[in-house]
């Protein structure tokens, strides 16, 4: 039916977002609120219910076939359980998919947020038409997902492709996970900003400090200054590109994708970093892996929403997913028929 859509939820530690998405990956309705991340799962699940009602009210004629949720890991996508995301207080083994199925009266698929974004880019974005894809998001941290022959690579307990915690050096800042040398600790936007802050000082007249209003310099400021041909910013991006190239080489050797897609805020400077990234890959990768294109993501901040929607709109073979029955609710406030 051409009036069918999926309800997509992007559960972030800072922002909670919802959308209705059709089979072409088009967002038909959208709403977002700050996540009450410290208030516990009951409050946040209530926020999800309220957002679902908000977006449905924007397009009441649509038949919603299911709910796809992208959430921070660790989580178990098969059991639909949020195991213990560090950005959400009190979330320990929360059966999120089961709770939402009963509250909304719709089938629910839960997926790691980076995996959902990878699936979105594979089906509708920069990886469309490829058999396999590695998606890397470079922003506050580094995350990613791997799609192989149209399927997300989950691994044991859905924990595969935690690429930000590859060890790429034995030096540098300690990662939030407690280990020295993680890809995330060395090459994330946060790491780039840290190096920029160490190289400058407030009121020193540098382009980086001017762009940051003499406050904290971020990776975004480095990209902006580099576009203005600032020498320090260009040097910082050159170093960032080298570290990204090392990490990407590992990913090419591990997964041998058709394409490597880069998203997140630092991807806005991918065109500036591409020569150094490509040079690093040529230097370090075995010959058979050197021709894999490294491209910028196309779906932007909506990649996770579009990917989450595709979890319920399509099955693993890429066809429209059948509706799954949902049992009677044990919750007094459950919506037994959300479309009604």
Spatial separation of the C-alpha atoms in residues 241 and 87, rounded to whole Å: 28
Q: What are the tens digits of pLDDT across the range 131-169?
A: 999 999 998 889 899 999 888 998 887 778 889 899 999
Residue 123 counted as domain residue? no
- 168 in the same domain as 39: no
- 256 in the same domain as 166: yes
Three-state DSSP state, 1? coil
- 77 in the same domain as 199: no
Where residue 327 falls among pLDDT bands split at 50, 70, 90? very low
* Cis check: omega of the bond before 237, within 30 degrees of 0: no
Hey, what are 19's tokens? 């959308």
- 273 in the same domain as 319: no
Residue 252 counted as domain residue? yes
- 170 in the same domain as 257: yes
- 137 in the same domain as 242: yes
| Nearest-5° Cα angle at 312, 152 to 56 | 135
User: Count of alpha carbons within 13 Å of 53, Cβ hemisphere only?
Assistant: 10
Closest CA to 27 of 18, 14, 16: 18
Beta-bridge partner residues of 37: none
- 61 in the same domain as 194: no
- 254 in the same domain as 290: yes
Residue 223 counted as domain residue? yes
Q: What are the tens digits of pLDDT across the range 16-42?
A: 999 999 999 999 999 999 999 999 999
Beta carbons within 10 angstroms of residue 242's beta carbon: 17
Question: Whole-prediction pTM value?
Answer: 0.85
Q: What is the pLDDT of residue 172?
A: 85
- 165 in the same domain as 85: no
Residue 93 counted as domain residue? yes
- 289 in the same domain as 173: yes
Average pLDDT over residues 209-215: 95
Q: How many structural domains is the chain composed of?
A: 2
Domain that holds residue 224: 129-297
Residue 122 counted as domain residue? no
Domain at 105, CATH number = 3.30.420.40
């Amino acid at each position: 039916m051409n009036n069918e859509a999926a309800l997509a939820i992007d559960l972030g530690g800072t922002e909670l977002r919802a959308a209705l998405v059709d089979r072409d990956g088009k967002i038909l309705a959208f709403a977002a609120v700050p996540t009450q991340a410290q208030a516990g799962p009951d409050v946040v699940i209530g926020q999800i219910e309220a957002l679902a009602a908000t977006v449905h009210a924007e397009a009441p004629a649509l038949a919603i076939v299911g709910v796809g949720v992208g959430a921070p890991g660790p989580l178990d996508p098969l059991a639909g359980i949020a195991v213990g995301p560090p950005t959400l207080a009190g979330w320990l083994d929360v059966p999120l998919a089961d709770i939402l199925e009963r509250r909304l009266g719709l089938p629910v698929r839960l997926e790691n947020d980076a995996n959902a974004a990878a699936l979105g880019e594979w089906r509708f974005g920069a990886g469309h038409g490829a058999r396999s894809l590695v998606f890397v998001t470079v922003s506050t941290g580094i995350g990613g997902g791997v799609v192989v022959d149209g399927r997300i690579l989950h691994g044991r307990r859905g924990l595969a492709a935690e690429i930000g915690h590859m060890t790429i050096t034995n030096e540098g800042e300690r990662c939030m996970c407690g280990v020295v040398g993680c890809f995330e600790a060395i090459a994330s936007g946060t790491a780039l900003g840290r190096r920029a802050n160490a190289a400058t000082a407030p009121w020193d007249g540098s382009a980086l400090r001017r762009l940051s209003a003499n406050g904290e310099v971020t990776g975004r400021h480095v990209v902006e200054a580099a576009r203005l041909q600032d020498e320090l910013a260009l040097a910082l991006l050159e170093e960032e590109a080298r570290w990204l190239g090392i990490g990407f080489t590992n990913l090419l050797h591990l997964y041998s994708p058709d394409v490597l897609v880069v998203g997140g805020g630092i991807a806005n400077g991918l065109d500036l970093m591409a020569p150094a990234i490509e040079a690093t890959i040529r230097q370090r990768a075995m010959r058979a892996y050197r021709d894999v294109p490294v491209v910028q993501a196309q779906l932007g901040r909506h990649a996770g929403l579009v990917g989450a929607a595709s979890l319920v709109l399509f099955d693993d073979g890429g066809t429209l997913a059948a509706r799954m029955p949902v049992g009677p609710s044990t919750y007094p406030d459950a919506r037994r028929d959300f479309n009604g």
